[in-house]
Amino acid sequence: MTVKERADAARNRQAILAAASTLFDTADDPLTVTMDDVAAAAGVGKGTLFRRFGDRTGLLRAVFDTRIAGLMAAIVDGPPPLGPATPPRDRLLALLDAMVEFKLDNRKITRALEQTSERTSFLESPNYLLAHALFTDLLTGIVAPDRAAWTAHALLSFTRIDLLENLIATQRWTTGRLRQEIQDVAGRILGPR
């Protein structure tokens, strides 16, 4: 049985997520945004934030999860090219491109989450584990089964925001070129259709 969220709690959650999202996007570094900042912007007590989200990392993750929900829905049961009816090779390439596009569109919060995850283990974060499991599953029919998990790690390394930002900032690659280069390399890894 699911418990329905009280109307005031739902309003508070929405106000907190909206305020945090704005603050994270407008800050030079989302990791400088404090729970006090978010509480004041949302018009709630700091205790409400900590009870609901635990800490700033939990709040960052909640904002990220809200933003990625549409992409996740398309992956789980959406139409091609992201949905499950797509042939594995084509789906992997589409998923990789969609992940890169999402991360580039959400750079600050993605970078902050990847930085906070590195303090524990980025490879153990819920989003990475989910993506790795999906990629590994799709790869089992494309590469040798004993190479699927490794190949999934290799492909997912292309989605690291620190790598993407470095190529854009230091190499002066456009986002279009970056996405095409990733598709080209991933296509060679996956082999011909």
Tens of pLDDT, residues 19-70: 999 999 999 999 999 999 999 999 999 999 999 999 998 999 999 999 999 9
- Is residue 136 within 8 A of residue 96, CB to CB? The reply is no
| Total domains present in the chain | 2
Domain identity same for 104 and 150: yes
C-alpha–C-alpha distance, residues 186 and 193, integer Å: 12
Domain identity same for 118 and 34: no
Whole-prediction pTM: 0.87
As a whole number, mean pLDDT of residues 150-156 equals 97
Is a pLDDT exceeding 90 seen at residue 148? Answer: yes
Domain identity same for 50 and 131: no
**Would you call 169 exposed, middle or buried from its count of C-beta atoms within 10 A (0-12, 13-18, 19+)?**
exposed
Sign of the CA dihedral with 130 first, then 146, 97, and 78 last: negative
C-alpha–C-alpha distance, residues 23 and 32, integer Å: 10
Domain identity same for 167 and 99: yes
Asked if residue 35 belongs to a domain, the reply is yes
Domain identity same for 95 and 185: yes
- Residue 193: both structure tokens together: 């259709």
> Which of 28, 54, 80 is the last residue before a domain boundary?
54
Asked if residue 3 belongs to a domain, the reply is yes
Domain identity same for 38 and 118: no
C-alpha–C-alpha distance, residues 86 and 94, integer Å: 9
pLDDT at residue 2, rounded to an integer: 60
Domain identity same for 90 and 130: yes
Q: What is the 8-class DSSP label of residue 44?
A: S
Domain identity same for 143 and 98: yes
CATH code of the domain containing 38: 1.10.10.60
As a whole number, mean pLDDT of residues 9-28 equals 94
Domain identity same for 96 and 4: no
Domain identity same for 121 and 140: yes
pLDDT at residue 37, rounded to an integer: 97
Domain identity same for 46 and 89: no
3-state secondary structure of 22: helix
Domain span including residue 76: 65-190
3-state secondary structure of 99: helix
CB atoms under 10 Å from CB of 155, counted, come to 25
